Amino acid sequence: MSSNLHPMLNVAIRAARAAGSIINRAALDIEAVRVSQKNMNDFVTEVDHASEATIIEQLLTAYPNHGILAEESGTQHGNPNADHVWIIDPLDGTTNFIHGFPVYCVSIALQVQGRIEQAVIYDPSRNDLFTATKGRGAYMNERRIRVSKRTRLSETLLSTGFPYRKTDHFNRTLRIIGEVMQQAAGVRRPGAAALDLAYVAAGFTDGFFETGLQPWDTAAGSLLVTEAGGLIGNYSGEADFLHRGECVAANPRIYGQLVQILQKHSRVNAQASAPADEGDVPAGGEPA
């Protein structure tokens, strides 16, 4: 780790790599991993819990007065009244992990008085480390990254998330994906929203959109995207997305074109308008 990095980012990197070691060891014998089900198609493993415990221990050892918001344990650790809050997804892409599909990551962000200021996303299967400090740019494996330069939606490769349980807005989501697919070069569903955002920041994809997300899915990735020159917000194009359950991110030119398609589907707008379509019920979060 570089001495030029912010000290809090260094701590987060160390915690992410420690969690990644746990994940990689478990990946050697996936069938031995104990799996339980939180909801339909929403799984948690002993690896999620061990990874989260390691991250929290390292962060609170370094900063005992900080707060914690973690996917599996919520806010039960740390200082609930802290200005500094670590937002943690210990294994984003659990469903991929338990099937041996190597698309998953560790996501850690530091929120200071409501703003994300540090971010780490670590892909242990590829040993790819994405980092960002507010105002200092975004990096992949210590190399500066930028969002793509494409300007036409018809040339873009986009990523998204599909409905995965009965409480999702199936009809609405399928309509959105159908509209976008007709205008983009390709749409992918890798299965780990945090890594999707890191790939937008690195320019591997040109944009990302999804509903039903939680803060730990998007916090770290949001800083990577903005520090790499991109934009991120809700489907209405507003910057308020972290607790809104919907997210769109892209380079500035593609962002505007995506918002034009997505804004009529925004749950933020829909809350004050007509009831959901037949077959639609409140959405859940991205599967871990």
Supply the CATH number for residue 93's domain: 3.30.540.10
Q: How far apart are CA 81 and CA 40, in angstroms?
A: 33
Same domain, 29 and 133: yes
Element (H, E) at 215: helix 215-227
Evaluate whether residue 28 is within a structural domain: yes
Q: How far apart are CA 109 and CA 8, in angstroms?
A: 10
Task: Identify the pLDDT of residue 3.
Answer: 58
Contact 218, 194 (CB under 8 A): yes
Same domain, 84 and 140: yes
Find out whether 71 is annotated in a ligand binding site. yes
Same domain, 14 and 134: yes
5/199: higher pLDDT: 199
Reported confidence tier of residue 167, pLDDT bands at 50, 70, 90: low
Same domain, 88 and 181: no
Reported confidence tier of residue 287, pLDDT bands at 50, 70, 90: low
Same domain, 163 and 221: yes
Find out whether 9 is annotated in a ligand binding site. no
Final residue belonging to a domain, choices 144, 169, 188: 144
Contact 163, 273 (CB under 8 A): no
CATH assignment at residue 252: 3.40.190.80
42 DSSP β-pair partners: 39
Assign residue 205 a region: left if phi > 0, alpha if psi is -120 to 50, beta otherwise?
beta
Length of the chain as a residue count:
288
Task: Identify the pLDDT of residue 38.
Answer: 59
Evaluate whether residue 287 is within a structural domain: no
Evaluate whether residue 286 is within a structural domain: no
Find out whether 123 is annotated in a ligand binding site. no
Does position 273 have pLDDT exceeding 50, yes or no? no
Candidates 50, 115, 110, 60; CA nearest to 85 is: 110
CB-based burial, 232-269: b 16+ in 10 Å, e otherwise: bbbbbbeeebbebbbbbbbbebbbebbbebbbebbbbe
Evaluate whether residue 288 is within a structural domain: no
Range with the lowest mean pLDDT among 40-54, 169-183, 224-238, 260-274?
260-274
Mean pLDDT computed over 146-157: 98
The single residue listed with the structure tokens 């000290």 is 7
Same domain, 165 and 63: no
Per the structure, the complete domain to which residue 253 belongs is given by: 153-270
Mean pLDDT computed over 194-211: 97
Candidates 79, 42, 83; CA nearest to 64 is: 79
Evaluate whether residue 115 is within a structural domain: yes
Find out whether 197 is annotated in a ligand binding site. no
Mean pLDDT computed over 221-230: 98
Evaluate whether residue 216 is within a structural domain: yes
Reported confidence tier of residue 174, pLDDT bands at 50, 70, 90: confident
Query: What's the number of domains the chain is made of?
Result: 2
Find out whether 153 is annotated in a ligand binding site. no
Mean pLDDT computed over 65-82: 95
